[in-house]
Structures are given as structure tokens and as C-alpha cells.
Amino acid sequence: MGRVGVLLLNLGGPEQLEDVRPFLYNLFSDPEIIRLPFTWLQKPLAWMIATMRHTKSQENYKEIGGGSPLRRITEEQAVALEEKLGEKGNNAQVYVGMRYWHPFTEEALAKIKRDRIDELVILPLYPQFSISTSGSSFRLLERIWEDDPELQKIDYTVVPSWYQRSGYLQAMAQLIAQELDHCPNPDQVHIFFSAHGVPLKYVEEAGDPYQAEIERCTELIMKTLNRPNPHTLAYQSRVGPVEWLKPYTEEAIPELAQQGVEDLLVVPISFVSEHIETLQEIDMEYRELAEESGIKNFYRVPALNTHPVFINDLADMVVEALESPSVHFSEVVRPSKRVKMYPQERWEWGMTTAAEVWNGRLAMIGIVAVIVELITGQGPLHFIGLL
């Protein structure tokens, strides 16, 4: 066996307030996040969204100390994983590659080439696969690999998702049990799983397995926990006017309060590290919403971070991947005939799903054009006197 490496993939996050705007631009420049019919629209739209949203986003980051802890925590996970692999007899070098902020995936790959890695395990820190998370990183890596003969010499394998692994489930169950045992009436606490949402069309039109994996993961965690508590699954962090996976977290919490729930324990199921969506969105926004709705006791399960059972399971995952047949990008960015990443679907006339999708996209282009005119003060509508 030659030199072994592990590439941990994650989203990334702005570490300082001045990073917020370029981070948002990078995020919304990704066609896996916002799908447009014309690629030339992607960057102008990303610039507009980043310009309009960065002030509000900066306020949110101020509330958690001025920046995201995601890089620090992910690098701590990398160190812990490297140490655990060493204990298991595998001297592997662990690298961190972020999709939208430093250290970027490209930076990690430069280090991997510098260190002359022979075998590489690519491990996303997303338990469940989605087109917009793991899929986006795999798509980027596939493009880079195709253009780099040096990378093509590396024997790599990809771990698509790992939500069903016993070590991960045990770590989640342990964290939930610890929080429940601190409650005055643990059996009466309603367990509320909050997952990051995705647009509904990703699941219905593109065949994204994310929803099915999240639902199955919730079932497996509750089975592993083996407690009598009722539970709910909802989705947070939706953006824009399109329909996302339901129920929405901000709607489900008041509904539970109306049903008489007084004790709520929120579990961030799709996150393995603390970041803006746990520290600000859940701990602040949803806590305030719960209290206003009548929830008397609001609890939250911490993210896994460097939980020893979780890190041990990541190490086992790496060892198993090295001993198994290689899985390549083409097998995971298109995991079934039903999953469509790109190219996007062709135009169809009539009352068809594709026609509705394209009509919606064209309408969005019109809306974007109007917004751009309002911002710049120039354009055809100004010319004819309508604005």
C-alpha cells in the first residue's frame, strides 16, 4: 500500500464578517444550488443575491461571534480522524476541502498532489446524499479530475452517504439520550428532527434521494435510541419562492405547540458540525418562535463535532473503503437512471411538467431583470418610462 489520504468534504463558511458577501456569491454561483436555464445568468444572479442578502447574513453571523466555526470544527474532526486511523494501523493523511470557502476543494487537491498520495478516500461530511451537497462536490471533483493527468494517477474511492451506519446512529442516539436524561420528564419530551431542506423539484423531478435518506435516518435513530418519545421530522433553511420539502420547521413548531407539546428537543439531523444553522437559526430563531408559540422548555441536541463514537465510525468507514472495490464519481453523481444532474431537461410544449418548469424559469428571468433595473436604474423599462 502506498501513501494514503482522506479528503473530507464540507460546505465551508465565512470566518469573518467581510467574508460573508464573497461566500454568498460562491454559494449561489453553484448551479446545483440555483438551477437556471441559461448558464450566463448564474453569476449575475449570484452577485445580485449576495448584494441583497449579505447585510442580513452579517447580522446573523454577528449573533454567533462574527463568523462560522465550521472550518475550525472540521479541521478538529480531521485531526481526530487521523489519530484514530493511526490507532487502527493506518497512517493516512487527512485533508479538508470546502465547497464555497477556504480551504477550497482545489486547495486540498493541491496538497494531495504535493504529498504524492497514491490512494485516496473521498468522504463527505454529509450523512445523507443530496444533489446540492455531496453531489455538488462530486461534480466539481469529477471535472477537476478529468482535466488533471496527475490526479488521474491516484487510485480514489468515494463514499456517497453513510446515514445508516451503526456508529453514526449510536453517536446520535447517545447525544439525544444525554439531553433527555437532563430533562425533568424525559419521556414526555417531543423529539424534533430538523434537517436542512432542498427544493421539492430536486426530489420529484431530478430524483434526489435526500428525502428518502433523511426519513430512513430518522427511523433508524429512533430505533437505536429505543425510547417511547414521540417524534417529528421537519425541514429548515428554505430560500426563495419555490416549494421546498415539507413540513417546514417554522410551521411545524407552532403546530406542535397548538397540539399541547410543552417540551421540545430539537435534533439537527443533517449537520455533523455546529455552524450558522444550528447556532443561530435553531438556537435563536426557532427557540424564540417556540417560546412565542407556547413551548415551555426548548432543548437542543449538540452536533456530533468530534464525538468519539462518531470519529471511530468515520475511521472504520475509511478502512472499509480502502478494502472494498473503488467507487468513482460517475457512479455517485448519477446514482440511478432517475437522478438527473445535468444537462437539464429539454423543452416540451403543452401542459407538461417540463413546460411548467421552463415557464417558471422564464418568469424568474423576467423578475430578475426587473430587480436588476431597480438596482441599476437602467434598462428597457426605464427607457420607455415604465420605471
**Residues marked as binding?**
196, 277
Q: Are 34 and 121 in contact (CB under 8 A)?
A: no
What are φ and ψ of residue 295, in 5° steps?
A: -70, 125
| Binding-site residues from annotation for Fe(2+) | 196, 277
Rounded (10°) CA dihedral 242, 245, 249, 250 = 20
Q: Do 96 and 10 contact (CB within 8 A), yes or no? A: yes
Read off the DSSP letter of residue 342: S
**Phi and psi at residue 83, in whole multiples of 5°?**
-65, -45
User: Quick one: cell of 10?
Assistant: 464540507
Asked if 371 contacts 359 with a C-beta cutoff of 8 angstroms, the reply is no
The distance in angstroms from the start CA to the end CA of the chain is 68
The continuous run of DSSP H or E covering 174 comes out as: helix 166-181
Instruction: Tell me the three state secondary structure of residue 334.
Output: coil
- What is the 8-class DSSP label of residue 245? S
53: its cell numbers: 442578502
**Which strands form 92-98's sheet, in the order they lie side by side?**
92-98, 4-10, 119-124, 155-158
Q: How far is Cα 270 from Cα 245, in angstroms, rounded to an integer?
A: 14
